[in-house]
Chain A
Amino acid sequence: MTESLQVFSRPRALKDVPTHFCPGCQHGTTHRLVAEVIDSLDLQGRTIGVASVGCSVFLYGYFDVDVVEAPHGRAPAVATGVKRVHRDRIVFTYQGDGDLAAIGTSEIIHAANRGEQLTVIFVNNTTYGMTGGQMAPTSLPQQKTTTSPYGRDVASDGHPIRMAELLAGLEGTSYVARVAVNTPGNIIQAGKAIRKAFEVQVRGEGFSFVEVLSTCPTNWGMSPLSANERVAAEMIPYFALGTFKDRQTAG
C-alpha cells in the first residue's frame, strides 16, 4: 500500500475563494507568494495588510488577515499610521505602478526615507490595469496604451521610472529588490525576495521593498503566454532584476 502525501496546498493566509483577476494575470501568483511567506514565517495572526486602489483592491477578499483599504496612492501613509500604533505587528502594502509610482510617489518616497518598518510589494505591469490600460509612469518607451495611442514618447511623456533603483538610493531603505514572476525559476527567486523583505521587518530592520514585474494580458492585448514573453523580452532589459540594497549583506 502506498500512502499519499500532500505536497502542495493552498496557503492558510489565502482564502479558498476564486479571484477576480483576468486569466494570466500575475496578481494571483504574487498574492500566493506573499501568503506563502506569511505562512512560513507564521505571521498570519499578527499581519495587517494595506490595500491600495487598482486591480488588487480586493486584497481583503483573498488574504485572511486584517486589512485596511487606503485611498489611491496613499497606502504607505496609511501603513505608517498603522505601524506607529501597532509596532509589534507586521504591516505590508500591496500597490500597483499607477498607485505607487504616479499618484502616490510622494507617500512612498517619504515612508521609505523615514525608514518606516513596513514591507511594500510593488506590482509593476507597466500600465493602469483597473482603469483600462492607460499609460503608467512605468510604461516602456514606444509602448502603446489607451492614452499613448502612438506609443509612449519620452520627449513629452518622460521616461519609465525605475522605482527600485530610486528607493534603493534613500538612506531609509533596508532591503530593495526587483523580481519577475514570468518563469518558474523567477517565481522561486521572487518568493525568496518577498521572504527576505518580510524577515527584515520581523527583525525590525527597517523599510523593505520588492518590485514584482508582472503581466496584464488583458490591457496589453496579449495571450498569457505572449505576455510572459514580453516580460522577458522587453521589461527585464529595462527593469533589471536583482537586489539593489540589502543592508544585512552590506554589513
Chain B
Amino acid sequence: MNQRLFVKGNEAVAMGAIEAGCRYYFGYPITPQSDIPEYMSRELPRREGQFIQAESEIASINMLLGASACGARAMTSSSSPGISLKQEGLSYMAGSELPGLIVNICRSGPGLGGIDASQADYFQAVKGGGHGGYHLIVLAPHSVQEMYDLTMLAFDLSDRYRIPAMLLGDSVVGQMKEALLPHSYVRPDDLPTKDWAVSGKGERKEQNIVKSLYLGDGELEAHNWRLHGKYQALREREVRFESVCLEDADLIVTAFGSAARIAKTAIRMAREKGLKVGLIRPITLFPFPEKVFRQATASTRRVLCIELNNGQMVEDVRLSVSRDAEVFFYGRPPGAGSLPTPEELCEQISRYCGEGS
C-alpha cells in the first residue's frame, strides 16, 4: 500500500474490488474486459474467495444475484453484448433490491460492432436497460485511479441503497496503464447490516425472502414508489462530478469517462488560445448532476456535450440546463479510427466559444 503502481484500468477495478471486500466474482470472457476475470481467477482463491467462469452472462448475473442475496460483496464484469444478456438479471436484482457491482467496459456496437472504446451504452446503463422501470447507480471513471476508487464507492453506495451499481468504463480506461496509488478501504460507518439476507433461518423466527414478485392489491405500486423514493434520495445525496474553470467560462464543455480525458486536453489547448471554456464532468451518470447544470447555466448559457456516440447523455444535459441555455453536441459513433482528437475538439470549442468575438 501507498506505493505507486503502474497498472491497467481493468486491473485497478479488480484490485479495488478485492480491497473493498469483494470475494465472489462471476463472469464470462469478452474483450476488452477479460483482464478483470483473469485477475480475479488468480487472486480470489488465495483469499478464500470464489471465482466462477460461468457458461454465459445470463448465468453469471444470476450467480451474482444468489451471492448478493446472501449478503456477500460480489461482482460481475462484461462488455456491451454481454451486458445486454445481463439485463434480465439486472431487472430482477433491481426488483429484489439487491446490491452488487456490474462492470461494463463498453465496446462499440450495435450487435457485434467492434472492440473500440464507445459510450453508446449510456442509455442502456442509465435508463434501466432491462424491463420494468428501474435505475442502477452508474459511475463513470476517467482514469485508472478512479477505476480503483469508484469501484469501492460503487460497493458502498450499492450496499447503502440496496440498488445494483454499474461501473461504466470503456476500452480506453480499461486497457490503458497509468499510475495508481492504492489505499486501504475504509468502510463507511453508515452502511446498514444486511439482516434481510438469506442464510438459513437458524434461530430467526421469520424466514427471509428475496423476491421481486408482488401480486397483492397495490403491493407492486407501493414497491415501485419505494424504489422511486430511493432514486430520489440518490439524486439529493449522491451526485458526484468534477468541474474545471466554470467561474469565467463562456462555454461549458461536458463529457464523461474517456471522452472527458480528450476534452480536458482540448480545453487546455483552448485556454492557451485565450478561450474561456470550462468543464463539467459527471462522475455519477445516475444520479445525473442535474442541479449542477442548472446552476452553472444560470450564468453560462452555452454547453457543448461531447460523447463517443451520436448523442445520448446530451438528452439529460438538455433536460438539466436552465431554460434559455443552448446545448450543442459533438460526438463520433465509435469504431476503429473514430476517436476524436484533442485538436478536433478544440476546433469545436472555438466554434461555440465564438472565437475572435
Contact = CB atoms under 8 A, between A and B. Distances in A.
Interface of A: 44-48, 50-51, 57, 60, 63-71, 74, 77-86, 89-90, 106-107, 109-110, 114
B198 A68 contact: yes
A77 B62 contact: yes
B54 A67 contact: no
- B contact residues, range: 35 or more
Contacts of B64: 81
B72 interface: yes
B62 A107 contact: yes
Contacts of A50: 66
Contacts, number: 135
A69 B96 contact: yes
Interface of B: 24, 26, 50, 52, 54-56, 58-60, 62-72, 74, 88-89, 92, 96, 198-203, 207-213
Nearest to B71: A85
Nearest to B198: A66
A107 B200 contact: no
A83 B213 CA distance: 23
A46 B65 contact: no
Contacts of A80: 52, 59, 63, 66
Given A46-B200, A77-B54, A107-B62, A66 B67 contact: no
Nearest to B70: A85
Given A65-B201, A66-B200, A78 B63 contact: yes
A57 B209 contact: no
A171 to B, nearest CB: 15
Given A67-B209, A68-B210, A82 B203 contact: no
Given A106-B59, A110-B54, A82 B202 contact: no
A-B complex: 9 closest residue pairs judged by Cβ atoms: A81-B66, A77-B62, A81-B63, A66-B198, A46-B200, A81-B67, A69-B211, A78-B66, A85-B70
B54 A74 contact: no
Contacts of A86: 70, 199-200
12 contacts: A63-B207, A66-B198, A67-B211, A68-B69, A70-B65, A71-B89, A81-B66, A82-B70, A84-B67, A86-B200, A110-B54, A110-B59
Contacts of A45: 200-203
Contacts of A90: 200
Contacts of B55: 106-107, 109-110
Contacts of A77: 54, 58-60, 62-63, 65-66
A66 B63 contact: no
A84 B52 contact: yes
